[in-house]
Amino acid sequence: MKLIVGLGNSGDKYLYNRHNVGFMLVDKLAEKLGVKWEDSSKFKAKIAKKDDFILIKPMDFMNNSGEPVSLVMNFYKMLPNELTVVHDDIDLDFEDVKKQLASGSAGHKGVESIISSLGTKEFWRVRVGVGRPVNAQSVESFVLSNFSEEELGVIKKLDISNLFD
């Protein structure tokens, strides 16, 4: 069983934010698997299932992602290494993708929340480069800003499905 979590913030105003790249990519994965999202108040998330895959998008703010992840993992009796978290990363160049196991949060609040809720960092992360702030723009304001149309086109072409074979 594999749990794939896309990190983002729920709500239309965040839809194309850099911080929502995790949502965007698991949406694309759900489409490729041919599964539909269902609202789950039990898990505080949108959830989609197919065969050995469970996809979720926590429906709280990014900083509270750990609780829904923990609820799903406990319900399905999953081990930490069966979890992959897909999220934005300003320390990677735009559109670069890196999968790694058991790394720290590097200051990412959503990842910190998951580490705190699970009590471990022994899970997979798919880090997606969203670029870095320029000038004096804060990191928070940068990740909560929308991708440009050109950037969004590039992001929509990214395919992470090969990372889960």
The residue whose two tokens read 């839809």 is 15
CA angle 161, 163, 165 (to 5 degrees): 80
- The answer to whether residue 19 is catalytic is yes
Nearest to 123 by CA among 76, 57, 40, 66: 66
Tokens of 32: 């490729």
Identify which of 37, 32, 5, 36 has the alpha carbon closest to the alpha carbon of residue 21.
Answer: 5
Name residues whose C-beta falls within 8 Å of residue 104's C-beta, 6 or more positions apart in sequence.
115, 121
**Catalytic residue (one of 19, 44, 108, 109):** 19
Q: Which two tokens stand for residue 124?
A: 């997979």
Q: Would you please indicate which residues are annotated as catalytic (active-site) residues? A: 19
